[in-house]
Amino acid sequence: MTTRLGRYGLVPDRSLSDPLTAPKAKVAQSAQIAPGSKISARRLAEGDARTFRALDGLVSRNVIVGVPAAFAPNCDAHPPGYIRAYEQFRARGVSDIFVVALNDAFVMDAWKRHLAPEGTAVHFVSDTDGSFVADLGLLYHDAPLRSVRAKRFVILMEDTQVQYVAVEDDPCAITCTSADALLAYLDGRVGRYVRETGVQFEAIPS
């Protein structure tokens, strides 16, 4: 997916499709990036915008959570699951969790402090120009707001390779990208999770 710089910022080209017309939330098939791929070597700003994270150089197991926008009502409900379950992810070998959106670093830092006033080890990083998410193939055009945003997604990295990808067809939904769903995948209990919650997603073998 490509974008161009318009009068009011990043806007989509005509090839971007509306994810709201897709049939249902899927894992991997809805995303351009797939298990076995490597993510792009782009630096994402964090905190005071003087700190940068290069997610292509991560080692061991890491999680990247993509959200459409900081402070949006639905998005406010997404990262807290990962914040609360941080130690559970650590117990399953996850080194770090990164939340990324197309907001600037100061907005992401303010959002982090809003969601975790007592602090959290979860990183909130900024993809201001959308280049990182574009490389993942996970941008979409939010027609009502006339803007380009990140789809709601979660990526599990194993060293430098993508092990697992989940993407919501409806960016307002939090189903297959939730912390609970990813924990179910890590525990090998996707079938049970689907039966108990009704969330439909596929398990991608590592």
Q: 172 an active-site residue?
A: no
CA distance 121 to 124: 9
In terms of Cα–Cα distance, which of 174, 196, 176, 195 is closest to 185?
176
DSSP 124: E
Given 25, 63, 75, 125, the catalytic residue = 75
H-run or E-run covering 136: helix 131-136
- Alpha helices (H) along the chain: 73-76, 79-84, 86-91, 105-115, 131-136, 179-187, 190-197
- Three-class secondary structure of residue 148 per DSSP: strand
Q: Which residues are catalytic?
A: 75
